[in-house]
């Protein structure tokens, strides 16, 4: 399989760090173009030489809608779409892992994803971690196990119920067929990434996760979806209304949710 990737970055009031994100994307293999969607920044994002396309929105529409807008602008020649955020810097080997041919040879695989280590939490990044449960799973009750913030050195592919939107490679054709990310969660909601992944799984497709495909997350206290965050968490109610009757397509885990085990210092 050949890969021609359109990378889509949504940004909001983070021009200062956006450039670093672009540089980390530009060195990735199989890259066709970088599309930046400015989700209503004030002042508007300034065009950078590494941006193949810059889409400026007059008002903030949220992560899901802005990503969908970026996807619609993607080249028809691209085979895959990669989604990330403005405060994430990719490891130089990230796309090599996400594009592993043996994984994509399975025709049921339509998306791969990797870890998003939280670089603001020393405990997560200064230690080696080993997964003792499936790292990106959902159970019957909608409890989400997201271990992508931990630094895990073990090369292993895991079947995933969901993949973080900051490090997500998706088959272009299937993204269009599924209708993109659901926008029902609003500009400041969450869960749209997980909902999208569940829609793919409901169609019988597979999502695969490898922690060695790293996208380093330098979380900021300004800009991004936080400026419009839904404090009442209405998005969680919507998520449960949409998927509870289907048991979140999850597994019945009867053991305690022990998430990860520290194996030793990484540094």
> How much is the average pLDDT of 35-50?
94
Instruction: For residue 67, give the CATH number of its domain.
Output: 3.90.550.10
Instruction: Give the model's pLDDT for residue 258.
Output: 57
147-181: per-residue pLDDT in tens? 999 999 889 999 999 999 899 999 999 999 999 99
Instruction: Count how many domains the chain has.
Output: 1
Task: Report the half-sphere exposure of 177 (CA within 13 A, side-chain side).
Answer: 10
Instruction: Give the model's pLDDT for residue 254.
Output: 64
Percent of the chain scoring above 70 in pLDDT: 92
Instruction: Give the model's pLDDT for residue 209.
Output: 98
217-240: per-residue pLDDT in tens? 998 776 666 556 665 578 888 999
pLDDT greater than 60 at residue 118: yes
Of the candidates 78, 260, 88, 72, the residue with the CA atom closest to the CA atom of residue 176? 72
For residue 129, list its beta bridge partners: 152, 262
Helix%, strand%, coil% for the chain, nearest 5:
30, 30, 45
Q: Three-state DSSP class for 32?
A: strand
pLDDT greater than 90 at residue 144: no
Instruction: Give the model's pLDDT for residue 18.
Output: 94
User: Does residue 227 contact residue 12 with C-beta atoms inside 8 Å?
Assistant: yes
Of the candidates 113, 117, 214, the residue with the CA atom closest to the CA atom of residue 170? 113
Cα separation, 97 vs 25, in Å, equals: 14
Cα separation, 88 vs 156, in Å, equals: 22
User: Does residue 157 contact residue 209 with C-beta atoms inside 8 Å?
Assistant: yes
65-89: per-residue pLDDT in tens? 999 999 999 999 999 999 999 999 9
φ and ψ at residue 197, rounded to 5 degrees:
-65, -40
Q: Among the listed ranges 89-93, 110-114, 182-186, which one has the minimum average pLDDT value?
A: 182-186
Chain centre to alpha carbon of residue 48:
23
For residue 13, list its beta bridge partners: none
pTM of the model: 0.94
Provide CB contacts within 8 A for 168, sequence distance 6+: 82, 83, 84, 111, 113, 193
Parent domain of 134: 5-265
């Amino acid at each position: 399989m050949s890969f021609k990737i359109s990378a889509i970055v949504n940004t909001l009031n983070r021009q200062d760090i956006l450039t670093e994100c672009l540089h980390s994307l530009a060195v990735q293999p199989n890259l066709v173009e970088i599309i930046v969607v400015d989700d209503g920044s004030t002042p508007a994002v300034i065009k950078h030489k590494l941006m193949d396309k810059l889409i400026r929105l007059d008002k903030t529409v949220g992560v899901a809608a802005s990503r969908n807008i970026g996807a619609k602008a993607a080249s028809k020649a691209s085979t895959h779409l990669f989604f990330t955020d403005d405060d994430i810097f990719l490891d130089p080997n990230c796309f090599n892992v996400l594009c592993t041919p043996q994984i994509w040879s399975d025709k049921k695989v339509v998306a791969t994803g990797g870890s998003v280590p939280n670089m603001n939490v020393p405990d997560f990044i200064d230690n080696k971690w080993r997964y003792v449960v499936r790292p990106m799973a959902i159970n019957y009750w909608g409890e989400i196990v997201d271990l992508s913030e931990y630094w895990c050195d073990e090369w292993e592919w895991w079947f995933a119920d969901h993949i973080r939107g900051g490090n997500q490679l998706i088959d272009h054709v299937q993204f269009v067929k599924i209708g993109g990310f659901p926008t029902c969660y609003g500009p400041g909601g969450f869960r749209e990434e997980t909902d999208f992944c569940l829609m793919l799984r409901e169609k019988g497709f597979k999502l695969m996760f490898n922690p060695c495909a790293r996208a380093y997350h330098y979380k900021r206290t300004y800009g991004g979806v936080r400026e419009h965050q839904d404090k009442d968490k209405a998005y969680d109610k919507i998520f449960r209304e949409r998927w509870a009757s289907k048991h979140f397509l999850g597994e019945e885990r009867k053991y305690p949710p022990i998430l990860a085990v520290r194996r030793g210092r990484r540094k």
